[in-house]
Amino acid sequence: MDVGARIIVRGLVQGVGFRYFVLRHASTLGLSGYVQNTYNGDVEIEVEGSRSLVEELIKEVKAGPRSAHVSDVKIEWKSPEQSFHGFEIR
């Protein structure tokens, strides 16, 4: 069963390749959605796919790439909109 999630990642997550890290893992897992930087220094991820795969991505996001420092991850579960085609950086 598919789920949707909005994930907000806080910490040193901009300028360290974080979006490309998320793109690579989400694409490998076959998830759809997007990742983008926000004006306040966070990274926002909208993702849809099977719950176990979304949870796998969340586990990766909490660790982050080596050059990042993740201080907080907020997750809001929701119904999938199925409006995404693949995964992209915005």
How large a percentage of the chain has pLDDT more than 70? Answer: 100
2-20 pLDDT, tens digit each:
999 999 999 999 999 999 9
- Any catalytic annotation for residue 37? yes
At 26-50, the pLDDT tens digits run: 999 999 999 999 999 999 999 999 9
The pLDDT value recorded for residue 34 is 98
* Distance between CA atoms of residues 39 and 14, nearest Å: 10
Residue 40 designated active-site: no
Spot the catalytic one: 6, 10, 24, 37. Answer: 37
Q: Tell me what the pLDDT averaged over the chain comes to.
A: 97
* Residue 54 confidence (pLDDT): 98
Q: Considering 6, 10, 19, 51, which one is annotated as catalytic?
A: 19
**59 pLDDT band (50/70/90 cuts)?**
very high
CATH code of the domain made up of 2-78: 3.30.70.100
Q: Residue 42 in contact with residue 26, Cβ under 8 Å? A: no
- Domains of the chain: which residue ranges? 2-78
The distance of Cα 44 from the centroid of its chain, to the nearest Å, equals 7
The Cα 41–Cα 13 span in angstroms is: 7
- Output the six-digit token pair for 34: 């997007």
Q: Give CA–CA dist 84/33, Å, rounded.
A: 5
